[in-house]
Amino acid sequence: MGGFEYVVKILNKDNFTLGTGLLLNNYVATAYHVIKDSELIYINYEGKCHLCIKEYASKESDVAFLKVDINVKNKPDFLVKIYDRLPDDVLNKTQHIKGYPNEGEYYKVFPDGRPLTAKINAPITYMEAIPDFYEYSGEYMTIVSQIPITKGFSGAPVFYGNTGNVISGFIVATSAPYSERNISSLEENKGFTTRIIPVQTYLDADDGKYRTLFGIEIGPRDEKNIDCLTIFAAESTVRNFVGREDKIEDIKKHIIEDSKVVVLLSGMGGMGKTEICKNIFNDVSKYGLDTIESVAWIDYNTDLKLSFFNMFRDVNEFQDVNEVDKYFNKTLNYLSKFGKNLLIFIDNIKDTISPEDMKILRKLTNRVILTSRFIDFYGISPITIDKLSKNDCLNLYIEILREGKILLKENDERYISEIITLADCHTLTVKFLADTQVASHMSAEILLNKLLKEGFDLQGIDEINFEDQNDFLIKHLSNVFNIVNLDDEELKVLKLFSLFPSINIDEVDAKEFFKQKNFKNLDNLYKKGWINRSGQGYEMHMVLASVVKHKFKITFEEAEHIIKSIGDKLHVDNYEVFTISKTKYLPFAESILKNFKDENLDIALLFNNAGARYHDIGNYDKALKFLLKASEINGKVLGKEDPSTAISYGNIGLVYIYKGDYEKSLEYYFKDLAICEKVLGKDNPSTATSYNNIGLVYSDKGDYEKALEYYFKDLEIREKVLGKDNPSTATLYNNIGVVYSDTGDYEKALEYYLKALEIKEKVLGKDNLSTAISYGNIGLVYSNKGDYEKALEYYLKALEIKEKVLGKYNSTTATLYNNIGGVYSDKGDYEKALEYYFKALEIKEKVLGKYNPTTATSYNNIGGVYSNKGDYEKALEYYFKASEINGKVLGKENLLTATSYNNIGSVYYYKVDYEKALEYYLKDLAICEKVLGKYNPTTATSYNNIGLVYSDKGDYEKALEYYLKALEIKEKVLGKDNPSTAISYGNIGLVYSNKGDYEKSLRILAQKVTFTVN
């Protein structure tokens, strides 16, 4: 039966194969039950889909005719008659029934499924293509196959395949009304021709598959329900998604076969790239593809890190990572587990993507589909999404008219074809113009004439330079405004909607933003094709948004309400917990920055809040961009000495701290302080906060004297204005304690830490996380003092609170495990130390991922224990793991990378491999001098370590050179009475002793003894 040249597939709107039919003249003949539940019907002929219109369908006779206009040659006419009989093996299984059985008889006679029935009104004839010819005369004929018929499928079989797997069917179409004929007259007039139309009947084959005349297996596919890893999945494709079957299959093939993994879909805006991806995503999610076990959907937003931020459910399971960089590193580690079993869709990548981000994408081991309108994309050969075929465009257009209950009149198809020609088969434009015709109730002829009058013509758009295509498209689409019927309120909403990037706006938010009492205007814009519905919200295609902005200048007065509303959405109060939901409308701030040059306080507030939210998620460059713009506006509108301007300066200073640019941070904090002192006075809490911020910067820089100077200025105000029992006063006590701890004055550190603890226990309670921080700080001081029992006492108190409040799998809980491990290590209980260090490592690898600097710290700690145990090979194993992570994630000029080099150097020193030790100690020193400067205690430690190696090598001149450099720093920064300074005196004294200069040795050692006695 495979010889039927014009057998076609019949599909529903979701491209699912319903059955088959025969293409005859301007019709497709099929069975009613094939199409009965489908509103929209397509046929697939020679690889292309064509929309059909149901012209006749009868469930009584199970016959349907679909009208379709396909330009093909040599289509067969109706069939010619040939006489013969069905073979006995088929006739023996035939039931003769006069009239259709009632429902009870159906299941009594055919308990395994619906009977295959056809009404016969004349001798049966067949196509000449059938190798054997049979004739059967009868009023009704029913054939039961030896192969069980699948429930829900039926037809009128007349040919029984030799393999036992296929029965061909037919539908009878007579040339005159039934009433004009009777069986006897037909039997007498053997020359009468009856039209017999073969179709395919689906049967269960021996292997459980369905087969068709096409020689492929179809029927119900096994649903796999692939897991989506992201919090958002792709929406369903927009209504009226037509064509693209071949392109979709081609993309799937690339995903399976392409060794480069990354597949780029490119083409101008509005061609349907996103809809194609949605189709593939939903199909793969339901039925799978190759070895795909998981999928993920990402809407691209500015850069890769921000796009990925908080999008992956399993990564979000641990909410202690709020910074973009940390989350991104954690996510990359998470994705690496899936390899090619994960298919990631990243939609609508703009030209803002950096070469670094593309490098990361290429390194992913997952399969990735990108969409972008850009063709030249870092060497990736794109799959171009071209225009739809004219026939697909016609089907799309007519389908939209039918949904809008617009009846086609004579010559309408010709006018529609001309409209499609003007649109140059651009998918979005064809759909938009069809929606426009429906909404305006124009005929196709009138719409065509109006388009011609307005000069609308996109023909040849694909021949224009790629960079100019979008402008050309927008220019011509803007002409449509002159023929659409938007009222003033709809136009007002549309203009404001165009300010949003392509993000979904929740229904509730949409009512607030556009000041709507109901959804009438939004729904009207949806019906007119300007916006789309997506889930419980609305969104606008970026091409149409550009059209609106091209046509209209939107003033600040028009947008004032929406700017205020979104500014409020981005605000987080001091007592409010920051969540990722606060970042949803951040892209709106980008749009306002791009579209408005107004210097207005509402815009400044929007930018300030946007900057604060970018800071919350660790995107410091974005934060600075908006905070600097807010500061500029506040300075111009309010003056440079206004408290609001001071707040902007303070926010900018904070971002620079996180960026590690202390000089810039101090510059803006001092600007903030100058305003506060002048306008608010020196005894104002805001002035106190400025002092505290400056103290923090000096503390981070290692300038502890300056840090204490400003902390005590802050403390004086807080104790005076807020009182000694205020939580903010406790925070300041804690900050002062940190400085004393860093300088080695542990008694002073304890004094202030205990003051902070007293306030917190009294005001916040003993089970508060802030109280736990104080316990941890006190534990650290006791550990540094060598009072290990006291250290463990406070660390365990802190651990109890954090496990209770945060759970065991939290990075701050891991930090306490780490600290406890450190105490046991210092006590010499290395087994206990490893127990806690490995607990910390397990949490960090699970929560933060293996490639994270904090995880590297655990590797360093474990390496330290093995080093202390004398297991130097194990020590080097973990130290090199830490070094690899820090170098890869942070770069080779980062302090944590320097720490790894120092640790590796120390192991080689213990192994008496002095050359290797010097190699890594010098790497450590180079980073410290560059990042911290020469006058820093950490740099002094590096000098000291190098001096130690030269001393043991017997190169005393070199040893003295580095020891004296270390001493100079310690005397200047820490003072002559510091224990660390005393160690340097001792080292230098020993070198002079080894050189035989005992007088100088005694003089130097005497300084060490003097310090010890004091």
Largest Cα–Cα separation, the chain = 142
pLDDT exceeds cutoff 80 at 175? no
Non-local (6+) Cβ contacts of 432 within 8 A are 477, 480, 529, 544
Q: Kindly state the average pLDDT of the residues 754-769.
A: 87
pLDDT (mean) for 19-44: 71
CA gap 878, 856 in Å, rounded? 9
Q: Whole-angstrom Cα distance, residue 327 to residue 333?
A: 10
Beta bridge partners, 58, equal 63
When mean pLDDT is compared over 55-59, 88-92, 358-362, the highest value belongs to 358-362
Is the CB of residue 848 less than 8 Å from the CB of residue 326? yes
- What 8-state DSSP symbol labels residue 301? B
pLDDT at residue 421, as a whole number: 92
Sort strands 227-228 and 94-95 into parallel, antiparallel or unpaired. Answer: unpaired
More confident residue, 444 or 808: 444
Q: What is the pTM of this model?
A: 0.59
**Residue 779 CA: distances (Å) to CA of 640, 737, 760, 774, 833:** 45, 12, 16, 8, 16
Is residue 383 predicted with pLDDT exceeding 80?
yes
- Within 10 angstroms of residue 409's Cβ, the number of other Cβ atoms is 11
Instruction: State the average pLDDT over residues 602-626.
Output: 87
Distance CA 937, CA 965 (A): 11
Q: Looking up tokens 């917190």, which residue turns up?
A: 760
What separation in angstroms does the CA of 505 have from each of 531, 585, 591? 11, 9, 15
Q: Which residues of 354-378 are buried (b: 16+ CB within 10 A; e: fewer)?
A: eeebbeebeebebbbbbbbbbeebe
Tokens 């749009």 belong to which residue? 591
User: Which residue carries 């429930």 as its tokens?
Assistant: 151
Q: Which sign does the torsion angle of CA 733, 734, 740, 746 carry?
A: positive
Look at residue 464 in the predicted model and tell me its pLDDT: 75
pLDDT beyond 60 at 984: yes
Lowest mean pLDDT among 9-18, 108-117, 527-536, 873-882: 108-117
Q: Could you tell me the pLDDT band of residue 24, with boundaries at 50, 70 and 90? A: low
- For the cut 90, the answer to whether the pLDDT of residue 296 exceeds it is yes
Q: Which residues contact 735 (CB under 8 A, 6 or more apart)?
A: 692, 695, 696, 699, 711
Cα 368 to Cα 362: distance, rounded to the nearest angstrom: 9
Identify the helix (H) or strand (E) that includes residue 471. Answer: helix 466-477
Helices of type H across 660-745? 662-675, 685-701, 704-721, 727-742
- In the Cβ-directed half-sphere of 599, how many Cα atoms lie within 13 Å? 10
Q: 3-class DSSP state for residue 884?
A: helix
Strands 532-534 and 367-372: unpaired
Q: State the pLDDT confidence band at 16, using cuts at 50, 70 and 90.
A: confident
Q: 628 — phi, psi (to 5°)?
A: -65, -40
Q: What is the mean pLDDT of residues 845-859?
A: 80
Please write the tens of the pLDDT for every residue from 884-943.
Answer: 887 777 777 778 888 889 999 999 988 899 999 999 999 989 988 888 888 888 888 889
Alpha-carbon torsion 899, 905, 909, 915, what sign? negative
For 316, 349, 368, 564, 627, the CA distances from 301, given in Å and listed in that order, are 19, 8, 17, 23, 20
DSSP H helix total and E strand total for the chain: 40, 23
Q: What is the mean pLDDT of the chain?
A: 76
The answer to whether 54 and 41 are in contact (CB under 8 A) is yes
pLDDT > 70? residue 90:
no
**Residue 58 pLDDT grade (very low, low, confident, very high; cuts 50, 70, 90):** low
H-run or E-run covering 169 = strand 167-173
Provide the 3-class DSSP secondary structure of residue 170: strand
Please state which of the ranges 479-488, 601-610, 849-858 shows the lowest mean pLDDT: 849-858
**Residue in this structure with the two tokens 């690898």, named with its chain if needed:** 845
CA distance 939 to 760: 36
Helical residues (DSSP H) of 324-389, grouped into ranges: 324-336, 355-363
Residues 206, 145 contacting (CB under 8 angstroms): no
Centre a 10 Å sphere on the Cβ of residue 771 and count the other Cβ atoms it contains: 23
d(CA 294, CA 288) in angstroms, rounded, equals: 9
Q: Give the span between the Cα atoms of 430 and 422, in whole angstroms.
A: 9
**Residue 954 region by backbone torsions, left for phi larger than 0, else alpha for psi between -120 and 50, else beta:** left
468 with 476: CB under 8 angstroms? no
In 3D, which of 636, 640, 722, 635 has the Cα closest to residue 687? 722
Nearest residue to 309 (alpha-carbon basis) of 630, 587, 564: 587
Tokens of 837: 């260090």
pLDDT for 80: 25
What are the C-alpha distances in Å from 583 to residues 302, 506, 788, 1002?
13, 14, 45, 66
Running DSSP on this structure, what letter comes out for residue 165?
S
pLDDT per residue over 437-494, tens digit each?
988 888 999 999 999 998 999 888 877 776 677 788 888 888 888 888 788 999 999 9
Pairing of strands 117-119, 140-143: antiparallel
pLDDT tier for residue 131 given thresholds of 50, 70 and 90: very low
* pLDDT tens profile 324-344: 777 888 888 888 888 888 999
| Interior angle at CA 586, CA 584 and CA 592, nearest 5 | 135
